[in-house]
Amino acid sequence: MSNVYLRMHNFIRMKELMDCLEQYNDLHIIGISSDGTLDFQCLQAKQVDVLVIEVDHCLHEFQQLLKNYEAFIRVHRMQILPLFQELSNEAIRLLLQYELSSFLVEPITSEMIVSALRKESRVQALEDKVCWSPDIFATNVLLELGLPMHLYGFAYIKSCAELLLEEADRLHTQMQEVYEACAKKYETTSSSVEKCIRTAINYAYRRQPEKICIYNDKPTSSQIILFVSERLRLYHRR
């Protein structure tokens, strides 16, 4: 069960989302607001797991929220699901800087938000299994995304995510360098690594698109690697 708090300006979307969430037992709306300053102490008291927040074209308020409450969010393991009007370069910079692995971009439907929330809920359940090693945890994250274990791309994604986790400056790491390091480990080529990862993603997308679409559409190889790496980073911090 994940406790969800909605901070949305669009009342019609909020109502549709609330109606949609009533169908699911694993998601519970713990509070809603349309404006005003968020009281993070209140969110902590309500044990909020995921904060869904609509982000205006002007990113200043969202940036200030992340800046002011970064430590609080990390300590209490609160996930943030931002809903962007558009994915500008500044928005991408904020996502990378504050290591936010989940987001949606307009046009957004209630079903998309629910799918993203349920994915957060499933991964959170995995993180709570403290007896798992990081390797087993990463394997289960990939399985939750619908990726097939029998394809080479499965192992390559996991390896790339682990390699990326070791990089001190993740913001400026080139994915090609990660592919090359993975290729060296498996005695193959970087182009083969990337191709196998794309094949695994395509396989999952054809069979269970609702699982693999971590954002609005079929993810790229780098998006999947970044997503898994971020989950591993959070798991290591436990």
The answer to whether the CB of 71 falls within 8 A of the CB of 40 is no
Distance separating alpha carbons of residues 127 and 216, to the nearest angstrom:
24
Residue 164, CA distances (Å) to 8, 52, 154, 158, 227 in order: 34, 27, 16, 10, 11
Closest CA to 120 of 158, 81, 92: 81
Position 204 scores a pLDDT of 92
Distance separating alpha carbons of residues 226 and 70, to the nearest angstrom:
20
**DSSP H helical ranges for 98-220:** 110-127, 134-144, 152-166, 175-186, 190-207, 209-212
The residue extents of the domains of the chain are 2-127, 134-236
Q: Respond yes or no on whether the N-terminal peptide bond of residue 134 is cis (omega within 30° of 0).
A: no
Closest CA to 120 of 94, 148, 145, 139: 145
Q: Which CATH architecture has domain 134-236?
A: Orthogonal Bundle (1.10)
Is 2-127 CATH 3.30.70.1230? Answer: no
Q: Tokens in use for 109? A: 């439907």
DSSP 164-175: HHH-S-GGG--H
pLDDT digits (tens, 9 = 90+) for 199-236: 999 999 999 888 888 776 788 998 899 888 888 877 76
Distance separating alpha carbons of residues 73 and 62, to the nearest angstrom:
14
Strand 27-33 relative to strand 79-84: parallel, antiparallel, unpaired?
unpaired
pLDDT > 90: what percent of the chain? 24
Position 131 scores a pLDDT of 52
Residue 44 has pLDDT above 90, yes or no: no
- The whole-number average pLDDT for the span 125-149 is 74
pLDDT digits (tens, 9 = 90+) for 53-100: 999 877 888 888 888 777 777 666 788 889 998 888 888 888 878 878
The answer to whether the CB of 186 falls within 8 A of the CB of 158 is no
- The whole-number average pLDDT for the span 113-121 is 78
Burial (CB < 10 A; 0-12, 13-18, 19+), residue 232, is buried
